[in-house]
Amino acid sequence: AQSVTQLDSQVPVFEEAPVELRCNYSSSVSVYLFWYVQYPNQGLQLLLKYLSGSTLVKGINGFEAEFNKSQTSFHLRKPSVHISDTAEYFCAVTSGGGGKLIFGQGTELSVKP
Amino acid sequence: EAGVTQFPSHSVIEKGQTVTLRCDPISGHDNLYWYRRVMGKEIKFLLHFVKESKQDESGMPNNRFLAERTGGTYSTLKVQPAELEDSGVYFCASSQDLRVNYGYTFGSGTRLTVV
């Protein structure tokens, strides 16, 4: 069975500092990996996804993530965060074929001035 | 293009009552998914429709939950009777195609509180 672990439930950081949100997954089959963001009172918005190819994936709003198969990780990074990045971030995995997404528990990113 | 629409956005009901949540997917999206997030836990899959057929309902918690998608357009999720542990945020998502690169578009969710 697939599972996703987001290692930090809350990450406080100051504006313009770098941030890394950690995600580890377990799966016995090939996977596709996603990061979603949920701003207050909004739905889940796709930040980026890894399907195949280059292990460094760039997404919206300056975020990027690196797929590391040997460490089964898909950590999300941003070199300089803004107040507007304050939100909850979810890592998710699927084996594809229209199958369900398996989500991690979410990480609340709080950016302080 | 209109996104995935869910309503109501919030619902507060008493234990034992019935609640019906509605999801309007993006027009033309055959695939419709329901997910739920209970407070403090991860978002969990409930079920997947392809048009009006249930493709996978392995995540439905029990028979108090009934999902329908008549005509393959909008979907409803009924909880009858509601219990306290049903409180949470219910998300709907739709997808045009089963190929993973098409991705999923999520609605804003319905926050259900059972008191």
Q: Which residues of chain A have pLDDT under 50?
A: none
Mean pLDDT across the stretch B91-115? 86
Q: Is the pLDDT of residue B100 over 70?
A: no
Which of chain B's residues have a Cβ under 8 Å away from the Cβ of A99?
48, 56
**CA gap B14, B18 in Å, rounded:** 9
Kindly determine whether residue A44 and residue B101, on different chains, have CB atoms separated by under 8 Å: no
Residue-averaged pLDDT of chain A: 92
- State what percent of residues in chain A have pLDDT above 90: 75
What per-residue confidence (pLDDT) applies to A56? 95
Which of chain B's residues have a Cβ under 8 Å away from the Cβ of A98?
31, 48, 50, 55, 95, 98-100
8 A C-beta contact, residue B73 and residue A72: no
DSSP 8-state code for residue B52: T
8 A C-beta contact, residue A17 and residue A30: no
Q: Is the pLDDT of residue B1 over 80?
A: no
Kindly determine whether residue A100 and residue B56, on different chains, have CB atoms separated by under 8 Å: yes
Q: pLDDT class for B92, splitting at 50, 70, 90?
A: very high
DSSP 8-state code for residue B86: G
Q: What's the CA dihedral at A37, A63, A75, A106 to 10 degrees?
A: -10
3-class DSSP assignment, residue A38: strand
